[in-house]
Chain A
């Protein structure tokens, strides 16, 4: 707008270059280097870098620990978004339409405030908290089960290879549901009540109304939620690293890609190999985003 005015270019340089320099040094250059390092056998000694082509990736394909991580992240990638979104939608619908004749329920504000809070806590702090909750002898969960006379259900949640991954996923779901519930509830409040009311009057059951009428109107929000939760599920590092034994869980039941990367780089010094894991994770993330966006690109429902 002001190309002719005095000093425009000096202003632009002053406004953009500091940020760009910082970004280039700490973000762009590491990302670019990562692709190069993934093709080397570098162990951190300067000058001693050997190009090994795709050897690291070939080794990854036969690394049982990496394959375990891939499987666990894969399970998390399906379970965490589906459960979180289902719970979030259900809670949002109950709050938004659970009142008389499809209106907001009493105390809606209170529920939203309470549910949202875990979103504000960092995952490491949540992991420390749940480490106690899951404690086999003195934890909250087993304590509650015993108090309810269900002591037979008490388990060593993080110590049992069959339960550890589920326990980790439960923590991720617990911490995320409130956020998506608030997101969905905000979108639901934009839906005219007549639409919901009309569907109920037509004799549609509550679940059918939710499934056929409300959720199609929330397609964009659900799609965004899938991408964000997918990224969360491909990570899982903080929770696993802090909560599970090893870390990585009994029989590697909770090994995740990020944990393997961290261990190979900063415990074993296999920086080239670790970089290859980072590249693999990048392509997984990219694939997730592409799939989610493709899947969401059907015809949109517009409210008149």
Chain B
């Protein structure tokens, strides 16, 4: 019994130490980081955070991420839900084919599409724009969203929808007023899954978003850490890192049960 706890506590330390170290270091002066790495800061330096937010543009990157991910998430959920619903509930010629074409997208590595995608986005004049990133993010999030919600809509009872049709509801009315509310648990699960996936995108913005003013958070932070190298502003970089981690940590503390079950459910399907 004792040995089990020793092992479990050790791994907990391995997981949490680097994170704690980054957060504590973000509140120290550069001198403190280098000379006394193991102590708490004499006084917490929140000005590191302010410096990272303003001068190192972390605030701007944060805003960019919020706009792009927010837009893409809304669009993905809307298009994914309507498509999945139509495919799950309406038999028509070509239904299986359309479903298969969407789901096949999950099999292909994004790297395969990277070169042609760059030129498609460039020719549309969308390189380095919010709409460009939103549309591309959405397109690549659709296969899993359609796949997951298709399975979910299939499990919902038909009786309510039939009754609504008899009451004179239109197809859209049934979808928005009856089926979408019923599908809420599925929408939440796939929404969480998509939010994390989109928030963590790196390869697509790296290639399609070359304008430093439009960098998303992960992209901006990575560029910062490479460009400043090891030497200069450690405390500022730790502050940027902490700012990037905090919202996810906060969301996790609040929603940890839903997030864990949502993400693992996504993997099992």
Residues of chain A whose beta carbon lies under 8 Å from any beta carbon of chain B: 1-3, 5, 7-9, 11-12, 14-16, 18-20, 22-23, 25-31, 33-34, 37, 44, 87, 90-91, 94-95, 98-100, 105, 107, 111-125, 127-133, 135, 138, 140, 143, 147, 174, 177-179, 182-183, 186, 221, 224-225, 228, 231, 234-235, 237-238, 241-242, 257-258, 261-262, 265-266, 271, 274-275, 277-279, 281-282, 285-286, 289
Contacts and interface: CB of A to CB of B under 8 A. Distances in A.
Given A271-B115, A289-B107, A1 B237 contact: no
Given A179-B264, A182-B264, A120 B8 contact: no
Given A26-B140, A128-B237, A128-B241, A115 B111 contact: no
Interface stretch (B39-47, B49-57, B90-98, B181-189): B90-98
A133 B89 contact: no
A139 to B, nearest CB: 9
Contacts of A143: 37-38
B83 A116 contact: no
Interface residues of B, number: 94
Nearest to B259: A120
Contacts of A95: 8
Contact of B5 (A15, A105, A182): A105
Contacts of B256: 113, 116
A133 B18 contact: yes
B120 interface: yes
Nearest to B225: A128
A197 B263 CA distance: 30
Interface string B99-130: 00110010111011111111111000000000
B113 A30 contact: yes
Nearest to A264: B115
A148 to B, nearest CB: 12
8 contacts: A3-B90, A16-B82, A18-B82, A25-B139, A26-B136, A33-B116, A128-B221, A265-B114
B101 A28 contact: yes
A29 B90 CA distance: 27
B157 to A, nearest CB: 12
Given A34-B112, A138-B37, A282-B112, 17 more contacts: A16-B86, A19-B83, A20-B102, A26-B140, A34-B116, A37-B116, A94-B4, A98-B5, A128-B241, A132-B238, A228-B267, A241-B222, A258-B111, A266-B118, A274-B115, A278-B109, A278-B111
Given A27-B105, A111-B8, A285-B109, A121 B248 contact: yes
Given A123-B200, A282-B109, A183 B8 contact: no
A178 B15 contact: yes
B135 to A, nearest CB: 6
B249 interface: yes
Nearest to A187: B268
A239 to B, nearest CB: 10
A243 B111 CA distance: 20
Contact of B221 (A118, A120, A124): A124
Contacts of A271: 115
Contacts, number: 264
Interface in B223-247: 225-226, 230, 234, 237-238, 241, 244-245
Contact of B83 (A20, A111, A231, A241): A20
Contact of A242 (B201, B207, B222, B261): B222
A25 B120 contact: yes
Contacts of A114: 12, 15-16
A285 B107 CA distance: 8
Nearest to B16: A114
B31 to A, nearest CB: 12
Contact of A140 (B21, B114, B119, B172): B21
A22 B135 contact: yes
B163 to A, nearest CB: 13
Q: Max chain A CB contacts within 10 Å: which of B118, B138, B202, B263? A: B202
Given A100-B1, A124-B222, A138-B33, A174 B114 contact: no
Contact of A122 (B118, B165, B199): B199
Contacts of B109: 231, 234-235, 278, 281-282, 285
B268 A31 contact: no
B82 A19 contact: yes
A127 B113 contact: no
Given A16-B98, A120-B252, A265-B114, A11 B219 contact: no
